[in-house]
Amino acid sequence: MTNLTKDNESLYRQVATRIDTFLNDHEGESFDRRTVYNDCHIDTPEARHEASRKLSYEVKQGRLEKTGKGIFRYINTIVSTIDWVNASEKADSYIRWPYGVNDQSTFGFDGHVIVSPGDIVVIAGEGNTGKTTFCMNLLWENMDYFPCTLMGNEYTPSRTKRRFMQMNWRDPLDEHGKPKFELILRYNNWKDIIRPNHINIIDWINVTDNFYQIGDILEGIKSKLNKGVAICAIQKEKGKDMGRGGSFTMDFPILYLAMGFGQLKVVKGKEYIGKNLDNSVDGFELWGKMLERFDKIRPLKKCPKCKGFQGNNKCDICDGKGWHDA
């Protein structure tokens, strides 16, 4: 970048041109004066004075908003209109759900929940209850029909291969011996690699503090979707329906599932076929050498005797679980 001249007539124009380029490259972002100075190589008192004039001008023009001392936000006026006129009215579920491979049993939301392109599904689960089984089975059921990407933070090559080889009811390789899906090791910033037109399965989103940030994370993921969807697994505590982050996890999902030991609950759905399934619960067992498949999926109902609470002695109806087969 060429040096700025000290000619007062041209200095402002040179500084303004550099700042215009900077703004075009940082649309929708927030930044401070120092970032502008550094990126635009504005390093003299005279040039910084002209830069302040330029930034003030952009605030008056409504291109920038001053959000703090020396902090600016580029106002994004670009809109994405929704072509609802030419959209299909057909109320089909976009994805295929896991099922009981041995006995062909299915979860109660299968065939009743509508998930459309651009939607997010959240599955909040306790540790070691089957979230990864759910995610891997979801991948298995969709990889022959849609482009799929699985992002995980615990998928080591050898263990993953061993587990995939146990899932022998489908072949994960195409006719050329290549995987039918994309498997990515990822720990954070998931929105940066969301595939807009894929089924994106994230197993799992780990937020260790400031749990309210999960809302921004899910919003960022949703903003990257086009014809694809995202299924996001998160952790939850035992006995709770919502994952870490509480109500902040509930805003964006079209479907919210809660998984405990041997139970999968529909916490919230936004669109159903036939009947509202909110608060319905299915029981299941995990089966296989590496617990890689579901089995004996069936509807559950609350125990009429202990009403979901365990006393000192196990209930003779539900065995202290609070639920029994419907």
HSE-CB of 79 using CA atoms within 13 angstroms: 3
Q: List beta partners, residue 310.
A: none
Q: How far apart are CA 222 and CA 109, in angstroms?
A: 22
The pLDDT tens digits of the residues spanning 152-187 come to 988 999 999 999 999 999 999 999 999 999 999 999
In a domain, 313, yes or no: yes
Q: Using pLDDT thresholds of 50, 70 and 90, give the confidence band for residue 115.
A: very high
DSSP 97: P
125 and 203 co-located in one domain: yes
288 and 186 co-located in one domain: yes
Tell which of 40, 57, 74 closes a domain.
Answer: 74
In a domain, 115, yes or no: no
Report the number of distinct structural domains present in the chain: 2
177 and 295 co-located in one domain: yes
255 and 185 co-located in one domain: yes
pLDDT value at 213 more than 90:
no
Compare 125 and 306 and report the one with higher pLDDT: 125
50 and 174 co-located in one domain: no
In a domain, 229, yes or no: yes
In a domain, 128, yes or no: yes
In a domain, 95, yes or no: no
The pLDDT tens digits of the residues spanning 64-102 come to 888 877 788 888 777 667 777 776 776 556 799 999 999
Q: What is the CATH number of the domain that holds 13?
A: 1.10.10.10
Q: How far apart are CA 250 and CA 281, in angstroms?
A: 18
User: 3-class SS at 305?
Assistant: coil
203 and 124 co-located in one domain: yes
Q: Using pLDDT thresholds of 50, 70 and 90, give the confidence band for residue 5.
A: low
List Cα–Cα distances, 325 to 113, 115, 187, 241, in angstroms. Answer: 22, 27, 38, 20
170 and 235 co-located in one domain: yes
In a domain, 102, yes or no: no
164 and 223 co-located in one domain: yes
Q: How far apart are CA 244 and CA 222, in angstroms?
A: 19
> What is the domain extent for residue 238?
120-325
In a domain, 38, yes or no: yes
Q: What is the CATH number of the domain that holds 256?
A: 3.40.50.300
56 and 126 co-located in one domain: no
User: 3-class SS at 302?
Assistant: strand
Q: Provide DSSP, 122-155.
A: EEEE-TTSSHHHHHHHHHHHHTTTS-EEEEESS-
31 and 165 co-located in one domain: no
158 and 263 co-located in one domain: yes
Q: At what angle do helices 8-25 and 45-60 cross, to 10 degrees?
A: 60
Q: How far apart are CA 70 and CA 59, in angstroms?
A: 12
In a domain, 255, yes or no: yes
Tell me if 173 sits within 8 A of 208, measured CB to CB.
Answer: no
pLDDT value at 6 more than 60:
no
125 and 246 co-located in one domain: yes
